[in-house]
Copies of this chain bind each other. A is one copy, B any other.
Amino acid sequence: MQRYFLTPEAFTGDAVALPSDIVHHIGTVLRQGAGYEMVLLDGAGNEYACVVTSLEKKSGVAKVLSSRRSETELPIDVTLAYALPKGDKVELVAQKATELGIHHLLLFESSRSVAKWDAKKVPKKVERIEKIMQEAAEQSYRAVVPTCTFLTSKQLSQQFEQYDEVIIAYEESAKEGEQSALAKILNRLNPKQRLLVITGPEGGFDSGEVTQWVEAGATACAFGPRILRSETAPLYALSAISYALELAKE
């Protein structure tokens, strides 16, 4: 069933006014009208089974049939900090990380990031990524749309105290055979706690960056003994988080 995100304010009574982009999607893209059933989400964890009661060219109304708390969110709050990679990998990772349950995406330039974002273009790029994440959230049955923020490497480490745990994907850890740090951290996390996962650009992080973050409280982890590409490491971490906290937990 088609799913659309609105804002919590839209759900004040049994009738919900549909914004113009959703009216366009239902009427023009899907060629549906009154009687069309769908799920509307408030983006704050609630989902509403609804039916369209009227649909004009630019406006429409739906009636709420039932509501419930969504059960598709990870039990912990996960932020991915991804060092800018080359090309359009950031879009691939934004989409996949949304499917895999992140709540926030932080983008930053690490010392080995080849890609640089011109400050003037940041708002437009962030907007585009948030659009990709909203579509991915709708398709993957998420109840929340992740946010995207671009920040400096310094701002990133200043945020560490907001998290219960901070992990860094560090390929030197993989080469040295470190294999249990990630599992130890996932095992001690409790529901609602906040986890920050930092993953690197092509070539990984330099040791100076990692040392600085470890001194600020982060843990360097291997994601298995193989060396993963820049865009694969975050997907590994997020899949492992879901597996450990949603499937393997007793």
User: Which chain A residues have a beta carbon within 8 Å of chain B's beta carbons?
Assistant: 71-72, 96, 99-101, 139-142, 175, 177, 179-180, 182-183, 186-187, 222-229, 232, 235-236, 239-240, 242-244, 246-248
Contact = CB atoms under 8 A, between A and B. Distances in A.
Contacts of A141: 175, 225-227
B142 A248 contact: no
B99 A226 contact: yes
Contact of A246 (B140, B175, B179, B227): B179
Q: From DSSP, what is the main secondary structure of chain A's interface residues? A: loop
Contacts of A177: 71
Copy number in the complex reads 2
A243 B182 contact: yes
A226 B180 contact: no
A146 to B, nearest CB: 12
A233 B243 CA distance: 12
14 contacts: A71-B177, A99-B232, A100-B226, A139-B229, A180-B247, A182-B247, A183-B248, A235-B236, A236-B243, A239-B239, A239-B243, A240-B243, A243-B244, A248-B248
